[in-house]
Each structure stands twice: as C-alpha cells, then as structure tokens.
Structure 1
Amino acid sequence: MAVAIKTWEKIEKNVGVLEFEVGVEEVNSALDKAFQKAAKTVAVPGFRKGKVPRQIFENRFGVEVLYQDALDILLPEAYTAAVNEANITPVDRPEIDVVQFGKNETAVIKATITVKPEVELGAYKGLTVEKKDFTVTAEAIDAELANLQGSHAEIVVAEEGVAVETGDLVIIDFKGFVNGEAFEGGEADNYQLEIGSNTFIPGFEDQIIGMKKGEEKEVNVNFPEQYHVATLAGQPAVFKVTLNETKRKQLPALDDEFVKDISEFNTLDELKADIENKLKEKAEQDAKLYVEEAVISQAVENATIEIPEAMIDNEIEFLMNDFKQRLQQQGIPFDAYVQFTGASTESLKDEFRGQAVNRVRTGLVLEAVTAAEGIEATEGEINTELENIAASAKMEVERVKSILEARDPGLSNLHNDIKTRKTIAVLVESAKVE
C-alpha cells in the first residue's frame, strides 16, 4: 500500500509522532469492503440481506456508519507501510489519531509511536577478561560418577523407626490452619514430597526432617509477603502433618558389574576415562562461553541506552510464557506451582525483570555493534546454516528452506543469528584474557 509521510517528530527520547496520508483510492477500497461486510447483516425493507444497493444503504444509514470498519480494514496495512517508509522500528502498539477520514478524501493519520532506542556504544573492542581455571579435577569426575550412581538407585521403603533425612521421599497427610481456621487448598492426603526440593513454603520441609513413620507434628511456617492469596500473604500458619511412609534411595555398588549394566564399557576405569573426556569437552565449551559472556557484559555495561518500558514488559511476558511452558513439560500446572511455592504472577514478573532488562540491553548493544562493524550474513553462510539444519533434521535442504521461509519470509531470523555470532566473534577475537 502506498502512503505519503508528512512528518516524523520526536516528542520524547524514544517516542515520536508520525503523520501520514493514505490515498483516496485506498480509502474508497476500504469503504467498499466495509459496505460488503455490513450489507450481509443489515435489513432494509424490500431487499434481501446482502442485496441492498450501496446508494440506498448510504441514503438510509449514512456513509459514516462504514468509517470504523473501513479504518479497521485500512489501518494495519497503512500503518506498516508508513513505519517502513519512515524507516522507524516500533516496539509497542501505537496511539492512533484519525485527523481526516471520509469518502473520496485522502485519509490523514497521526500515530504516536514508541520506537527502538538509539544505542551510544562505549568501548567494545580490546576488552580485558580475567582468566578462569576450567581444569577437570578428580573431584568433578567422582561427582559425575555419584550422579550416575544416584540415577540408577532403587527407591525402597525405609524400615520402621528410620528418621527422615534430606533427599528422602515422604508420603504425608497435612492440613493447614491460619488463626485456627482451615484454609482452602491447604489440605492433602498421601502427598509425596521430596525433602530438600523446596516445593513447599520455606521452612516446611526442614521441619519434616527427623520425623518417623506414624508420627504427627505441627509445622509452623509463615506465608511469604508476596503470596498470591492476599488473605494468606505474610500470615503465620500451622500445618498438622502425619508421616505415613518414608522412601529412600538405595545406591548400587560402584564396580565393574555396575558399569557393564549401565554402559557400553567393561570396567570402572574405562567409564572414568570416558567421563573425563566428556568433562574436558564441556570445560572447553564453558571456557569459550565464559569469555563470550564476559566481553558481552562489558560491552553492554560500557554502552548508554534508555530502554522504553514497553520493551521490558514484552520481554517479561516472553520469559513468563517460557517459564509456564517449561512447567507444563514437567507436568506441573502453573496454579499448583504458585500455590505450593507462595509465588504469584506479579512476584514472578518482578523476579524476571532484571533478566528481561539485561536481555533487552544485550540485544540492542549487539545489534549496534553489528551495524558499527558492517557485519552481514553472506549467501554462503546462509546456505551452510540451512545445510546444517537439514542434516540435523534429516531432511532435504530445499524442504527446510521452504518451511523456514513460510514462518519467516526472507529468513531474517537466520540472517540475524549468523550476524550475532559473527559480532560476538569480533568481540572475543579482540579481547585479552589475562
């Protein structure tokens, strides 16, 4: 759609007003579509629905009744064309002011837009990174062996009289009271809880330690100040708990027979050697990532940016949705999570805020460095990336390309990923590790 930019004027640091015009032909076309929509439902004596002539419709109801629908049809495409023409990048929904709109008239629109902020880069080359030791130790190898041993442990019911320890699975009945009154959602029978998992309100699990089968106990805790149920937030509570059963991990012997059962190796020494090699590979990756994160962090710290609140809010929403999806993958309903942790949507958003600000700042700075260095993704790099994706997915390259282009016309995300990696490489290659 063709639009004409009248003015673009900043009124705040990251907010401006874009005034643009849409031609008579586009306006009348939108009015035609609005009439076709309205005619399907409007009732005019002597005419079937959808068959009323345009002139009779306008004489009876006035052309103005079509304006809102026409604007709804016209604005999305016109606004997109206008911001592209003005070469600005919105980061939030605009505030629209319709200055002029009518049949056989040019439309004049004002949009108040929050735009992507300008980044004032500081030093980003030749940065110094403190050296960090990533040597694989014997203790690290032993810890991996212990994890492997634990993952193959048998869960057995503990003997009578055994006291609960951290790491045990307990089956409990509990009922919670605040000010002597039971509260909704504070009761369960035969609930399985891993001690030390921090699933319940802080302090609850610690007081289960030492209990024995059949024992009853009053557990005293305080609900967090930011608890999602307002009537419980900050309140002291008493839970009457009965321990029905304790289960404990029974570790297998760490010997050659165990190794043969759980791996392709024949001896414990062979397994240790394999673990050491894998830990060394991971250490190399960790060392590389450490340097990357260090130089990125410094480049971000050295830059000056005033971030619009809308960008932070959008990133917080992204992190919240990602968190909920990960909970869902673990089979944990979000409502159940907030109930047993004392969290709330607002408190989680507050927790995510710092991460969101850092992610937005980092993205903006890397994007600015990419522009400053003139970094682009070449056709060869795009093709190589597509080949790698195709090989990983065991698909034809052209099939992969068509799928990606359907989701992302122009493969802009792929271009950006490659440019970001090249930008980080520029920071790392110029850095000094000492």
Structure 2
Amino acid sequence: MDIKAKKIDAANASIEATISNEEIQANVDKIAKQLSKTANVPGFRKGKVPVSAVKQQYGAKLVEDAETQSLRDMLDAGLKQIELTAESLMGEPQITKFDKTADKIEVEVKVAMRPEIELGEYTSLIEDFEKPEVTDEEVMARIKELAESQSPLVDSKSARKLKKGDTVSIDFEGFLDGVAFEGGKAEAFSLTLGSGQFIPGFEDQVIGMKKGEEQTIKVTFPADYGSDKLAGKEVEFKVKVNALQEREEVALDDELAKKMLPGEEDVTFDKLKEQVKIQIENEKLGQLYNSELKPKLLETFVSKIEFALPEFVIDQEMDMAINKKAQTMTEDELKELRENADKVKELRETFRDDARNSVKATFIIDALAKAENISVTEQEVMQTIYFEAMQMGQDPQQAYTHYQNSGYLPAIQMAMVEDKVLSKLLNSKIKDA
C-alpha cells in the first residue's frame, strides 16, 4: 500500500493511499478464513465450512469488509507517519476521495485534531469600564413603584374622563342578539384600561367615559375565541363606570422598609434604599453585559487569538446554517437550489466566515473555562431550566425532558459556561464611576 500522510496545519491532516486489488483480495481471503470457523452454510457442518463456500455465500459483503479493513490499515499507517494517535483525533475521519477501478482504489482521508490554543495574556485584551451609575431619583422612583404596586386600590373623587392606564371599577353585561350570554356579566370589576384583559375594542371604548356614566359598547369576538357560540360574533356590552380607582398613597418611611425587607434586623428606609440601589445597579450591569460588553469581548478574543481550526467542524456549522436558511425559503427558491448545484455551493460559502468565527469562539470559551477553572454541572443546567420553566408557568420536568430529547442540553450547558466565563473576566475590570 502506497501511503502519503501530511499535516495541513495544527488541526488538520490528510492521508492519501493507493490500495491494490491484490491487497483487497488478501484481506478477503483472511476474513473468509476467519469466518469459515463460525459461518452457517447449508450442507456443511459449523467449523468445517470451506473458504470457497464462504466466498460464494458472502461474496459482496466480504469485499466490503476487506475494503473497510484496508481503510483502517491505511489510517493507522498514515497516523504513524505523522506521529499522531487515534486518541488525538477529533470526530470521525472524513473520506474525501474514493476512486475504485478494476485493479486499485485511490483514497484520500482528512482527519482533524483538537486545536492547541495559546491564550497568552488574554486579560490584557479586556478593557476597564465604569460601573453603571444609579441616581437617587431612580432609587426613589423604584421604591415608590414597588410601594404603589402593593398598596390597595381606593375610589378617587375625580370626575375626569378616563384615559389609558387608568384602573376603573365597572359593571358590565354582554348580549348576543339581545340575549344575555353566560360568563358575560360582572359587578365592581377592576380593570386597567389598555391592559388587553378584555377582547379587542372593549377597553378602547371605555376610555373617555366618566364616573357614573353608562354606555352600550359593540365588539366582535375573535374568530379563534374559546367559545364556539361567541367566536367571530358581534355582541353588545352594557357598561357602567362605578369609579376611577387609584392606589392609596403609602408613606416612604421605616415602616415601609420593614414590610419590603421582611426577616431582616434593624431595617431602616436608608437600608431599603441601599438594597434597591444594588438591585438597579445589577439590572443595569446585566443589561450592559448582555447587550454590549460580552459580545464585544468575545469578538475581540476571536479576532486576536489565532490558532488552526478543524475544517470538518466548520463544515458542520455551515451545513446547519444552510439547513436553517432553507427553512425560511420559498418553494420556488428551494426548487432553484435543487436544480443548480453551483448555487447551493455559492449560498453555502456565504456562511463560511460566520461559521468559522462561531467555531473559533466555542474553542476559545472552552480554553478560557479551563484557564479560569470554570465549569457548569448537569445539576446547574437542570436547575436553570426548571427555574425558567416555573417563571413561564410551564411544567419544569416536561421542559427538561423536551430539551433532553431534542439534544439541546449540551448547547445550554455551553451557553452557561460562556456566560460564567465572560462575566468573571468582565467583573475583574469594573471600576467605580
């Protein structure tokens, strides 16, 4: 077997070989001889089957197995030439050429290695930045907002026209073709105008009414409404405004602080202000990290840290990108691609730069996580999914099982690692405003 192996770069290598028909036949004889000891061939006792009978029974399969064995031998010999072990490879070897003639097979195999990344003085690539400033006005506005959200609603003496955002107490009764329908009546119902709590058009017509005013409102239920009797039907609501409601004013003092910080000792209004300031500060910092600093930092790492990338991983990323793009294309656009292979290649190439950067970023984050001793356990992934599911009113176990069955858990784990790594690095560069 004539073998030529070479390293393309630190992450990719190729092995070329010409396998003669004689070598394939030698492997066929060897495999047939081994199989003759265990094969079941009609007319022969097990273990006493002639090699010729085995070849006749399993002809095509023997050739296929013999070619596979030759490829294994080629790979082992090629890796030895360039001083690589099978354990150092990443992913499966990719057969990029397999030209078979009557007397030989010409083969090319590409292999990939996990890149060795020299991070260097990576912390020097991170710029210092100022902690977001929180003003006293923002703190007081947040405390007032929190206090009002917990204070009871009381009837206002105001007789002004209602506007969007007002909370009102109303009586209403709905009629379809002049007949009151079930579930369409309530008294002293508290409604915030503009909240979208009622079907479209209802709240808009209450806006502009006054306390004590009565009015008949015409609206049409959505076509997909839950009740078949009302879906798509025009109805009338008799509405009476009982009162404009406002939140009872709450004193901003130590007593409020005690209510808002239960279980803590020596609570004062100043301590509440400190806690709220920290909360707003963290919100602003999180927004700054996610919208600006983290993407910028990762972009800097990708542009500044150089290393060879396994080409097959980039190819996989490009394939995923083009498949995702295909899902958004029209049938005519897809037909054009099916009929023109060059257009497919052209479209695929448009994703190369993004795919390369994405793959590079993944390897960099992995290297940084090792350097910073950061990891995310399966338990942390589960807890995160459970918490988010509960916030959205979903069943946590069902959500976790869905992600698990869809194969999304590794991606979620990697995203969490990325978040931890970049947060830790940025936290080390905060300076007070």
**TM-score over 0.5 for the alignment?**
no
Bin of the TM-score, shorter chain as denominator length: 0.3 to 0.5
Larger radius of gyration: 2
Q: What is the TM-score when the length of structure 1 is the normalising length?
A: 0.43
